[in-house]
Amino acid sequence: VDLSHLSPEERWRVEHARMHAKHRGHEAMHAEMVLILIATLVVAQLLLVQWKQRHPRSYNMVTLFQMWVVPLYFTIKLNWWRFLVIWVLFSAVTAFVTFRATRKPLVQTTPRLVYKWFLLIYKISYATGIIGYMAVMFTLFGLNLLFRIKPEDAMDFGISLLFYGLYYGVLERDFAEMCADYMASTIGFYSASGMPTKHLSDSVCAVCGQQIFVDVNEEGIIENTYRLSCNHVFHEFCIRGWCIVGKKQTCPYCKEKVDLKRMFSNPYPFSSWERPHVMYGQLLDWLRYLVAWQPVIIGLVQGINYILGLE
């Protein structure tokens, strides 16, 4: 059969029929391959759970690295140039921000830079995911026909936006946590002896050391000024950068424990980053597993089948 004269659907049917004819009589082999797949999935899941519980830092770092690089392989292989362009832009800026966050000594303006960048990505990914979800639901209810859009085109558009929002939302969250960990180990004036190495007045931000021009009780045009329960004052973006994802709930100057929910009348985005909805958190974990570990597990299964001579 000359496949060049057939439509894509007909070509797929012919290839599917050829595959069935090729593997006819291999039911026992196929059953063995299915058992290998199930066993590998179970064992891999148990190992990943144990790794995550015993060594969470290394697990998170490896997962983040694979989340970052695994899609690049499929992007180049499948010629997804739009995704590749966005991935390169995101990676370039995030690499610069991460580089700044891991420098010692920490530059005074780095916390607000980290906060602004990841807040921007958070907003974009959240909006993209919502639009993609709405597009999928509209297609399921047939509302795409009102705009004369084909169901397959509308569904592809919705699923693509939903994946973009979830994927970059997960990357943004994980990179933000990593940057916050590095900044927490270098920022502030607190010494090992228990006494601050430098005294700051009330008119100076305890994070960046720059002058504060807006009073605590005044409404700022660009950003406000906050005073923690320990009486140290900060620029809004500086203290929010320090407290990214709600993990660093201590004063960067004196290390006193503070309750951000009580200190900030509008704790956004701490509330959305600190305690995500249970289902949303499970969805993010599932996406990490799907993107970072599923290709590795499938590759391992294929390797086992190849060693055992199974096709």
pTM higher than 0.85: no
Which residues does 144 contact at the CB level (< 8 Å), separation at least 6? Answer: 138, 150, 151, 153, 154
Q: Which residues pair with 190 in a beta bridge?
A: 196
* CATH number of the domain residue 214 falls in: 3.30.40.10
The answer to whether 263 touches 134, Cβ cutoff 8 Å, is no
| Res 188 pLDDT > 70 | no
Does residue 70 form part of some domain? no
| Contact by Cβ (8 Å): 294, 67 | no
3-state secondary structure of 252: coil
Decide: helix, strand or coil at residue 105. coil
Q: What is the pLDDT of residues 274-292, one digit of tens each?
A: 444 445 556 777 778 888 8
In one letter, which amino acid is 191? S
Q: What is the reported pLDDT for 185?
A: 64
Q: Are strands 225-227 and 233-235 parallel, antiparallel or unpaired?
A: antiparallel
Model confidence at 32, in pLDDT bands (50, 70, 90)?
confident
Number of domains composing the chain: 1
Q: Which two tokens stand for residue 208?
A: 């960046």
133-155 tens-digit pLDDT: 999 888 888 887 778 888 888 88
Task: Answer whether residue 264 shows pLDDT above 60.
Answer: no
Question: Distance between CA 169 and CA 180 in Å, rounded?
Answer: 16
Window from 97-106, 131-140, 234-243 with minimum mean pLDDT: 234-243
End-to-end Cα separation, the chain, in angstroms:
25
Tell me whether residue 217 is in a domain: yes
Instruction: Work out the average pLDDT over 90-116.
Output: 84
- State the pLDDT at residue 88: 93
In a domain, 80, yes or no: no
Q: Is residue 207 part of a domain?
A: yes
* Partners of 250 in beta bridges: 257
Confidence at 87, pLDDT banded by 50, 70, 90: very high
Instruction: Provide, rounded to the nearest whole percent, the portion of the chain with pLDDT above 90.
Output: 7
Chain-centroid distance, C-alpha 73? 18
Q: Which domain does 232 fall in, by range?
A: 194-267
At 279 the pLDDT is 54
Q: Compute CA distances 132 → 123, 126, 280, whole Å.
A: 14, 10, 16
Q: Give the pLDDT mean for 300-309.
A: 85
Confidence of residue 94 (pLDDT cuts 50, 70, 90): very high
The DSSP code sequence of 193-213 is TSSBSS---TTB-TTT--B--
Residue type at position 65: F
Q: Is 252 part of a structural domain of the chain?
A: yes
Task: Assess contact for 165 and 218: CB atoms under 8 A.
Answer: no
Identify which of 200, 247, 207 has the alpha carbon closest to the alpha carbon of residue 223.
207
pLDDT number for residue 268: 45
Q: What's the mean per-residue pLDDT of the chain?
A: 77
Give domain status of residue 243, yes or no. yes
User: Residue 227 falls within a domain, yes or no?
Assistant: yes
264 and 219 Cβ atoms separated by less than 8 Å? no
Q: Report how far residue 6's alpha carbon sits from residue 239's, in angstroms, rounded to the nearest whole number.
A: 63
- In terms of pLDDT, which residue wins out, 35 or 106? 35
Please write the tens of the pLDDT for every residue from 12-28. 888 888 877 776 666 67
The rounded distance, in Å, linking the Cα atoms of 119 and 173 is: 10
85 lies in a domain? no
Instruction: Let me know if 292 is exposed, middle or buried by CB neighbors in 10 A (0-12, 13-18, 19+).
Output: buried
As a whole number of angstroms, the distance between CA 132 and CA 164 comes to 9
